[in-house]
Amino acid sequence: MPRSIRERTVFVDSGAFLALLDADDSRHVEAAELLEKIERENYPTITTNFVVAEAHALILSNLGANVAREWLKNLSIPI
């Protein structure tokens, strides 16, 4: 039986955003592989404005202003 869209939706938290951007993050490879699977299997993704704010702060602190700015400009996940 097909699963509903709600059951298939993936919530993306701030740690996942940072891990995807930071090649030195201990979970970078795992996050990249999971993202590839999510995209390949067309799982919808969602996050919240609070997660975006937290992720931006983490990215800014760990990777710098330019990376944080570009991440915000290119963010395409529904909030």
Say what the pLDDT of residue 8 is. 85
Residue 63 included in any domain = yes
Say what the pLDDT of residue 47 is. 97
Parallel, antiparallel, or unpaired: how do β-strands 10-11 and 45-46 relate? parallel
The string of pLDDT tens digits covering residues 6-63 is 678 999 999 999 999 999 999 999 999 999 999 999 999 999 999 999 999 999 999 9
Say what the pLDDT of residue 7 is. 75
Residue 79 included in any domain = no
Residue 52 included in any domain = yes
Q: How many CB atoms lie within 10 A of CB 39?
A: 10
Residue 40 included in any domain = yes
pLDDT category of residue 1 using cuts at 50, 70 and 90: very low
Number of domains in the chain: 1
Q: Is the pLDDT of residue 75 over 90?
A: yes
